[in-house]
Structure 1
């Protein structure tokens, strides 16, 4: 069975660094950046993109809908 490969895009301008997506991610893909956005918040980003399965837990938990999730089937090698 082919596993899913996921990717997320975070709207770093709107992200307020609430950390909910980080705790909701079962594969520990998301972390908060050391840099800050224009509002002074440490925004979320994909720290481990190869582990993302596209489960959408992060997008569901985000109170500001800053995360878009993409998902595709992995092609076996």
Structure 2
């Protein structure tokens, strides 16, 4: 199984991820990151881990990893 990691501190709310997500799994938080932007949030139930958000994001906000990697394993 794969997990998606969102590095909210990198998000500049450009919207490319949300605009290209085929399942409308990405929205923006009402909270702000340290840079003052509403950051991207992923609905885990809608997300199919297709990687389009990872590909479209110019700021490296998203990562898709195997669950063992997300937990710090190999």
Q: TM-score, normalised by structure 2?
A: 0.79
Q: TM-score, normalised by structure 1?
A: 0.76
Structure 2 counterparts to residues 1-77 of structure 1, below 5 A: 7-46=3-42, 48-70=43-65
**4+ runs deviating over 3 angstroms:** none
Greater Cα radius of gyration, structure 1 or 2? 1
Measured at CA, do residues 26 and 71 of structure 1 come closer, stay the same or move farther in structure 2, by a change above 3 Å? farther
C-alpha distance in structure 2 between counterparts of 1:27 and 1:8, whole Å? 15
Bigger share in strand: 1
Aligned residues: 67
